[in-house]
Amino acid sequence: AIFISIYTIWFLGKEIVEVKNFELPKASTLKKKKKVGVLISGSGTNLQALIDYTQNPNNCSSAEIVLVLSNVLSHKNFKKRVDFDMAVHAILKENGVEIVCLAGFMRIVSKEFVQLWQGNLLNVHPAILPAFKGMDAHKQVLEKGAKITGCTVHFVEAEVDAGAVIQQAAVRVDPEDDVKFCRKR
């Protein structure tokens, strides 16, 4: 909890603010947490980082992961990409999901899915955007001789990796790095 001491400030004979002692609740208790659904395809490395962050009380996270979909619903059972996406959409809605996070999800979602989740659909991309878009981002980084790489969280738009950037983190690329090490870092 945060304690604030407030007192009266006078400036040129006028009272500007009166301050009293009170305790502020953590940000996470001030409003209802947003329910997040996470779509993954891989080993869950990004997912674990998201879980760790949202469950750490020191982060005051305003998000709660309520659903994870990972290869449970096979796209091969659907004739069209949009049919698969609508099945995923239905599961997300049934579970009260408000925000969808693509965290290592190795499928491009349909424009219809993007429209349904517009403004509430995020992607964790394994490189700095807009420099290294699409698949094989780590390979692109090394081929270009980039000195830094990193991770980008961005809003998803119909065009791949073109949405507004929310957050980026950078790490150095060493001359001896390979794709595997770049991915790990």
Residue of 88, 97, 179 whose CA lies nearest to 136: 179
- Asked if 181 contacts 149 with a C-beta cutoff of 8 angstroms, the reply is no
CA 99/CA 116 separation, integer angstroms: 11
Task: Check: CB of residue 156 under 8 Å from CB of residue 102.
Answer: yes
| CA-closest candidate to residue 52, choices 42, 63, 43, 41 | 63
89 catalytic residue (yes or no): no
Q: What whole-number distance in Å separates Cα of residue 70 and Cα of residue 135?
A: 19
Q: Of 89, 125, 138, 154, which residue is the catalytic one?
A: 125
Locate all alpha helices (DSSP H) within the chain, ordered by sequence: 27-30, 45-55, 81-94, 111-116, 137-144, 179-184
Question: Which residues participate in catalysis according to the annotation?
Answer: 125
